[in-house]
Amino acid sequence: MTEASFPRPRLSLLELAPVVDGASFGDALRDTIATAQEAERLGYERVWVAEHHSMPGIASSAPAVLIGQIAAATDSIRVGSGGVMLPNHQPLVVAEQFGTLDALFPNRIDLGIGRAPGTDQLTAHALRGGKVSESVDDFPQALAHLRAFLRDDFPADHPYAAITATPGTGSNPEMWLLGSSTFSAKLAGLLGLGFAFARHFAPQATLPALTEYRENFRPGDIDSPNAMLTVTVIAADTDEQAQRIAGPAKASMYRVRTGNPGRMLTFDQAAAQPLTADQEQAIAPTTAAWIVGSQDTVRDELRSLLERTQPQELMIAGMIPGRDERVHSLELIKGAVDQLG
């Protein structure tokens, strides 16, 4: 085995609490907590939960609540948001929520921030009290307010200078910006923050976004670029088994893309009603970048990806409806990354 031409990245997990047909929301949330415990046992760096709304097959709509439950059920793994969609929330509320989490679980909480709605426009309208449109300056300003609440460093003449985020002020959640384009990449670089790129649903923009982040980086919260790449990886003992396990995720993606989201299919249900060639083609711009296969296949495809992108961290996404299959996939992926040298 040749030595890798890139530093071996840290390995982390993105969870969406998939709700499987026939199961309850409680089942989905408990499975996510159990999966996080297994990720900790395997040596994963962190587990993040993503904010989505009005999706019957995803139960991670309240990241701060679920983060607290995962952190309480684990010992050392970092736990955070991947992410909190800041346009849906007031910065003071986010500061208080994550200040509370940091007070309870010091040095273990991550605050990943995104600017997408995490849902459709009607649900975004409901989340934001009737405001959906935003100007180009809204997100940077909201982010600046959030950071100021956490640091207690509003200018003396700012009207919010009299407000104390409690808990919040002086807390230390590790902040990241999330993105699927160059906008957040450049902003993360200019602010000296970690940047997590969502390659799992915007693969074509991966290299431009990472380049924008690195070229614009200035020391800030961190001294050097810290890039994370979120990638859909589904592993099983054979390539054929992995393709079968990926069936429900493909079906879910097609249904979301065509405006018909639902609960996640079981493996048997997905196998009994496979996507047609036209349906496969409709989601191919995204699924073509998925890494699905045996441990050897995963290792080889990850090596190729990491040689091109060289992130400091790799975050694994992959909606798998069975807990045992999900954990086995994580075991195989960890082994594949360990083999990269």
Least confident segment among 118-132, 225-239, 325-339: 118-132
Q: What is the pLDDT of residue 132?
A: 60
What's the mean pLDDT in 19-33? 97
What's the mean pLDDT in 331-336? 98
Ordered DSSP codes for 206-258: HHHHHHHHHHH---SSSSS--EEEEEEEEE-SSHHHHHHHHHHHHHHHHHHHT
What are 86-123's pLDDT values in tens digits? 999 999 999 999 999 999 999 999 999 999 876 778 88
The pLDDT of residue 61 is above 90: yes
- The whole-chain average pLDDT of the chain stands at 94
Q: What is the pLDDT of residue 137?
A: 66
**Exposure string (b/e) for 290-307, b if CB count within 10 Å is 16 or more?**
bbbbbbebbbbbbbebbe
The pLDDT of residue 6 is above 90: no
Q: What is the pTM of this model?
A: 0.94
The pLDDT of residue 40 is above 50: yes
CB 222 within 8 A of CB 190: no
Q: Which amino acid is at 14?
A: L
What's the mean pLDDT in 64-92? 96
Q: Are strands 109-114 and 174-179 parallel, antiparallel or unpaired?
A: parallel
Q: What is the pLDDT of residue 1?
A: 44
Q: What is the pLDDT of residue 134?
A: 60
What are 136-161's pLDDT values in tens digits? 568 999 999 999 999 999 999 999 99
What are 180-219's pLDDT values in tens digits? 999 999 999 999 999 999 999 889 999 999 999 999 999 9
Structure tokens at 171: 């807390």
Query: Exposed, middle or buried by CB within 10 Å (0-12, 13-18, 19+), for 215?
Result: exposed
Q: Which amino acid is at 135?
A: S
CATH number of the 10-339 domain: 3.20.20.30
Domain range list for the chain: 10-339
The pLDDT of residue 3 is above 60: no
Q: What is the pLDDT of residue 293?
A: 98
Query: Exposed, middle or buried by CB within 10 Å (0-12, 13-18, 19+), for 190?
Result: middle
d(CA 263, CA 269): 12
CB 164 within 8 A of CB 92: no
Least confident segment among 128-132, 219-223, 280-284, 306-310: 128-132
Question: Residue 72: pLDDT band by 50, 70, 90 thresholds?
Answer: very high
